[in-house]
């Protein structure tokens, strides 16, 4: 049975990747940091499966800053594959907490690569790199496009990208960068723009929220479906050679279009509800991201099926159900 280790398992991608690997018959280990409340809402379904918990899913307390504990965990587990997803992943927050963001994102990557080097063997490594690394480089962006990072988050991801390539070249480690463009789902964190909008649409339709305060409505992104994007992480590690791939839908839409379409799905006009506030603007914006994932299509045989409209539809549908549940329970959450 193949063994995998995931960092960031409690996040959006970690939850989908965990399910994918379990479905493929893997034994999955996860590094989970200690928190004062349970952060496992996205993977509670796995915890409820007694057979999986006893035989194929093992969570270990650990922190991506603690290199020694990562080395001993990797020694003990002997994984075939490691997926490094843990990060402070919010771009705007990275301007408010630049040092913590950079330390989190850099030290996690280097600690794991160094642990792999020291433990030896044939461990395959996936690094969660990001389209944010392209920053102000105009679209379409592909593997050959230059990086022009525009935030502490993006700078930290550029470091992780090059560190991954450096370990591949220096120590012959099977290490891959997935340069993933924005990917979303009903499991997306509620302060990222798609989920913030679809949550608001659900609550406004159910009468438990009245306004939505947003930042820059003119920014454009290439939004895909997270469930499909974790499949390509796995595919990268199954190939015969390690490499770096851009993963995207190739469709670009503005935040304004997102609002218009999502509110329209429930028969509302977004301009009656959405206002903007400087608070949600960034000191430096990434205006347009749209990826060209031809290389992944040709080499890995991957291509996205769920595009913008289907994605937003499935998110609105899930958030309408959630808001109806909240209304039933009388759980009125403060607007943010």
**Residue 45 is a binding residue for ligand GDR (CB under 6 A):** no
**Could you tell me if 292 and 140 are in contact, meaning their C-beta atoms sit under 8 angstroms apart?**
yes
With b for 16 or more beta-carbon neighbours within 10 A and e for fewer, the 77-99 pattern comes to bebbbbbbbbbbbbbbbbbeebe
For ligand NDP, give the closer residue by CB, 17 or 206.
17
Binding to ligand GDR by CB under 6 A, coded x per residue (else -) over 107-136, reads -----------------------xxx----
Note if 132 is an active site residue. Answer: yes
Query: What count of residues does the chain have?
Result: 336
Taking CB under 6 A as the criterion, the residue among 7, 84, 182, 209 binding ligand GDR is: 182
Among 130, 131, 151, 156, the active-site one is: 130
Nearest-angstrom CA–CA distance, 76 and 62:
14
Which lies closer to ligand GDR via its Cβ, residue 117 or residue 295? 295
Residue 256 in contact with ligand GDR, rule: CB under 6 A: no
Residue of 26, 83, 126, 153 marked catalytic: 153
**Cβ neighbourhood burial of 249 (10 Å; 0-12, 13-18, 19+):** buried
Residues contributing to the site for ligand NDP (CB under 6 A): 7-14, 33, 35, 39, 63-65, 85-89, 104, 128, 130, 180, 182-183, 189
Indicate whether 214 belongs to the interface with ligand GDR (CB under 6 A): yes
Shortest spacing between CB 297 and ligand NDP, in angstroms: 18
Q: Which of 230, 255, 274, 320 binds ligand GDR (CB under 6 A)?
A: 255
Q: Please, where are the H alpha helices in the chain? A: 12-23, 44-47, 50-55, 67-77, 91-96, 98-119, 152-171, 193-205, 226-238, 255-264, 294-300, 308-329
| Least distance from ligand NDP to the Cβ atom of residue 158, Å | 12
* Neighbouring-strand partners of residue 183: 224
CB 4 within 8 A of CB 80: yes
Beta strand 220-221 pairing with 253-254? antiparallel
- Tell me which residues touch ligand GDR (CB under 6 A): 89, 91-92, 130-132, 181-182, 191-193, 196, 214-216, 219, 221, 255, 280, 282, 285-286
Catalytic residues: 130, 132, 153
């Amino acid at each position: 049975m193949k063994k995998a280790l995931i960092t960031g398992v409690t996040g959006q991608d970690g939850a989908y990747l965990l399910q994918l690997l379990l479905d493929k018959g893997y034994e999955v280990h996860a590094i989970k940091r200690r928190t004062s409340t349970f952060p496992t809402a996205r993977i509670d379904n796995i915890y409820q499966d007694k057979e999986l918990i006893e035989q194929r899913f093992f969570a270990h307390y650990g922190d991506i800053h603690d290199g020694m504990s990562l080395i001993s965990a990797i020694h003990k587990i002997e994984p075939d594959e490691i997926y490094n997803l843990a990060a402070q992943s919010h771009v705007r927050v990275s301007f408010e907490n630049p040092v913590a963001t950079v330390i989190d994102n850099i030290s996690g990557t280097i600690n794991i690569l160094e642990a792999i080097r020291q433990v030896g063997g044939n461990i395959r490594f996936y690094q969660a790199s990001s389209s944010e690394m392209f920053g102000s480089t105009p679209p379409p962006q592909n593997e050959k496009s230059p990086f022009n990072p525009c935030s502490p988050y993006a700078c930290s991801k550029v470091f992780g990208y090059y560190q991954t390539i450096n370990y591949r070249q220096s120590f012959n480690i099977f290490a891959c960068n997935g340069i993933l463009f924005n990917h979303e789902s009903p499991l997306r964190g509620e302060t990222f723009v798609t989920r913030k909008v679809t949550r608001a649409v659900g609550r406004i339709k159910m009468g438990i929220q009245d306004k939505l305060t947003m930042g820059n409505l003119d920014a454009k992104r290439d939004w895909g479906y997270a469930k499909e994007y974790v499949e390509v992480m796995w595919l990268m590690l199954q190939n015969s050679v390690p490499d770096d791939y851009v993963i995207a839908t190739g469709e670009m839409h503005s935040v304004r279009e997102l609002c218009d379409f999502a509110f329209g799905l429930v028969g509302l006009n977004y301009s009656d509800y959405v206002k903007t506030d400087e608070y949600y603007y960034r000191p430096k914006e990434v205006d347009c991201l749209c990826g060209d994932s031809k290389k992944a299509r040709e080499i890995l045989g991957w291509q996205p099926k769920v595009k913008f409209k289907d994605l937003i539809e499935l998110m609105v549908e899930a958030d309408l159900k959630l808001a109806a549940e909240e209304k039933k329970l009388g759980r009125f959450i403060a607007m943010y």
